[in-house]
Amino acid sequence: MEQGEKRIRFSIVAADGLAKRDLFRQPDPFAIITVDGEQTHTTKVIKKSTNPYWNEGFEIVVKPSSGILIRIFDQKKFKKKDQGFLGLVSFHVQDVANLRSSRESTFTRPLKRSSSTSLSVMGNLVMKLGPSKTRNAVPNGTNTAAGNTSRVTNGASTQSNPQVSSTADATTASALQSSTTNGTSTSSRNPPRENGSSILSSFEDQYGRLPPGWERRADSLGRTYYVDHNTRTTTWNRPSMNSSNRSSMNTDSQRLQHQNRSLPDDSSPINISNNDLPAGWEQRYTNTGRPYFVDHNTRTTTWVDPRNQLLRPVGNSSPGFGGLMQPQSLSHLGPLPSGWEMRLTNSARVYFVDHNTKTTTWDDPRLPSALDQNVPKYKCDFRRKLIYFRSQIGMRPLPGQCSIKVRRDHIFEDSYAEIMRNSAHDLKKRLMIRFEGEDGLDYGGLSREFFFLLSHKMFDPIYCLFEYSAVDNYTLQINPHSGINPEHLNYFRFIGRVIGLAIFHRRFLDAFFVISLYKKLLQKKVTLADMESIDADFYRSLKWVLENDITGILDLTFSAEEDHFGEVRTIELKPNGENIEVTEENKKEYVDLVTEWRISKRVEDQFNAFYAGFVELVPPDLVSVFDERELELLIGGISDVDINDWKNHTEYRTYSASDQVVKWFWEIISNWKNEERSMLLQFATGTSRIPVNGFRDLQGSDGPRKFTIEKAGSPDQLPVAHTCFNRLDLPEYPTKAKLEGKLSLAIENTVGFGNE
């Protein structure tokens, strides 16, 4: 060995989240290690895995300035042009370890693309560096895999695969040069810690453990980013304890947004302010929490909300409610519409029954109700359904109280114990939430705080019960691997109870699920279209199978592969499905079966437990009056949309902020109600939810991407949304009225997506 050289043991431990290039099969990855372009070693091949575990060590001779290059390939494609390239990692030894140290260090690096290929890569590589386990002069190793054999003797290497050699030469120079530029500065600022032999988890990196609630991940380009589960936000910057404190402040802001959630046209007294009442009126509550109204002008009380009455002034009284009022005479209005009936309550108040929709209302259908003027039909329908749903006997609170006492810092565990301890009958009594060590009476505020905190905890992916449907989307789906927790079915029944409890007591949860979960709660059949919100790539592939002739192109059987913690399992979609070939004639059956398996079958036990808890509090025949979108509103409500924040973090293409159409656009949505703004946001970005830090953190398909308005299309066309890029194509309409009409028509009648 030359002066300054040292023999060390370098180990390739595992890779995590490798790219899956083929729809119906997983790669067979192996790694090639090159040291200074001379020494070469190869790991064994791991069959059918995107998370291979090698744990192979190699004796290498290095200097502090030595460069190490690791490339990952797919053995099945190794003889093709791109060699099945899955990513590379390069670094200099001095940047990751001290050669004088006798300790072993473990570190993780994201896989990167090669300059010689345009293939995208993803995932991370876990490696170890430590002292040599042998005292021989120089290692003489021969490793064989994927047809590539190299022999190292006295530091010289003989390659038997010229294709690999040329690729290594081309890749090593650029990769190691990049490593020199970036790695040295990094190590000088933040020297990596020397760790034990344990593999770094996603909750720590080479610089130490992340703050509580943070997780480290890599995107499709191999870039490391950080997820804050406390606020459900992402960032490229490594969090510090200061940022953890800031996230606590963001949680307070999110709590305020959650408490302001509502339903379209919800007349619940909790969301009504006394400031909206006519002059001289006041809203009060009985001992049981029922609201009533005091008219200080006449010194009378009533159960009837004066804002909901269609009244007119008598004599010369003003148009407001300050003077003496009386109901309009309805004798001249003629008969009720077909299917309607007029009835009286026990207090002789008139109400109306619509037998067509099985709903009731205080509003006379013969009058142009102020609530129904310029109101879209979808909102009227939802309001009537909501009135009907909440008026049924099965949704009325029972006499008595149900006390639940929890600790804030153990809210998940305490809530599980309390809610599962009580019977469904007791849970239908008035909820009285109490936080340990705090003085407070629950008149609605404590229960809203309870559901806010609990929804943040029980849907946290750390517990492996639910997972996010995509990297850039915070909609939730059931985790098919939740069985790692032996009590997971009991927890799913508990979560079903919590959702039912929130609906029953008119509270909201700070969580939104994939649309297929709402459909399953309504006992509706899932379809291929529901796959799009779960796995967009898989959806497009299955759609391609249906729309094209697959004869002689795809080698498919009625089976599917599932990666279960590194073990690849083959699932038969029908009896003996592994031996039944998918043909042009039976491909529709295959698509239906694989869709049902992907969405329903593989989480069937979890959903059955979840559904059992849900229907203990919400009768399935009553909730079926809603569709899946309305059920999403019923569970999650609508959060406020800050127009100023939206406007300040919007970009323009071809347009500018001073253009007339852009000014009209902001004037229109400023005058819209919150649910209409949420629908526009859903239309343009794919979700009605806003990141906690506001529109500046709006996510696109490839990372943070601001809301964008682009001039595109003719004035006769509707606006077009590109949800992957948070972009709205807005034609240059000649008038403000036409712009508002086209915009409203687009967001209220959109029923699907298209591809560019």
Task: Please identify every residue annotated as catalytic.
Answer: 724
Q: Rounded to a whole number, what is the largest CA-CA distance in the chain?
A: 111
With beta carbons less than 8 A apart as the criterion, state whether 485 and 465 touch: yes
Residues 455-460: contacts with CB within 8 Å, 24+ apart?
Answer: 455/498, 455/509, 455/510, 455/511, 456/230, 456/251, 456/510, 457/411, 457/412, 458/412, 458/415, 458/491, 458/494, 458/495, 458/498, 459/511, 460/229
Q: What separation in angstroms does the CA of 68 have from each of 29, 130, 141, 229?
A: 19, 14, 17, 35
> Using H for helix, E for strand and C for coil, what is the string for 673-698?
CHHHHHHHHHHHHCCCCCCCCCHHHC
> Per DSSP, what are the bridge partners of residue 14?
53, 126
Tokens 């002739």: give the residue: 549
Tokens of 248: 């606590």
If you write DSSP's letter for every residue of 113-155 in order, what string do you get? --TT-------EEEEEEEE-S--SSS---EEEETTEEEEEETT
552 Rama class: left (phi>0) / alpha (psi -120 to 50) / beta: left
If you write DSSP's letter for every residue of 511-542 in order, what string do you get? --B-HHHHHHHTTPPP-GGGGGGT-HHHHHHH
Tokens of 654: 């071809």
Q: Which amino acid is at 450?
A: F
Q: What is the strand order of the sheet 156-159 is part of? A: 142-145, 148-153, 156-159
Tokens 């009731």: give the residue: 360
Gyration radius of the chain's alpha carbons: 32
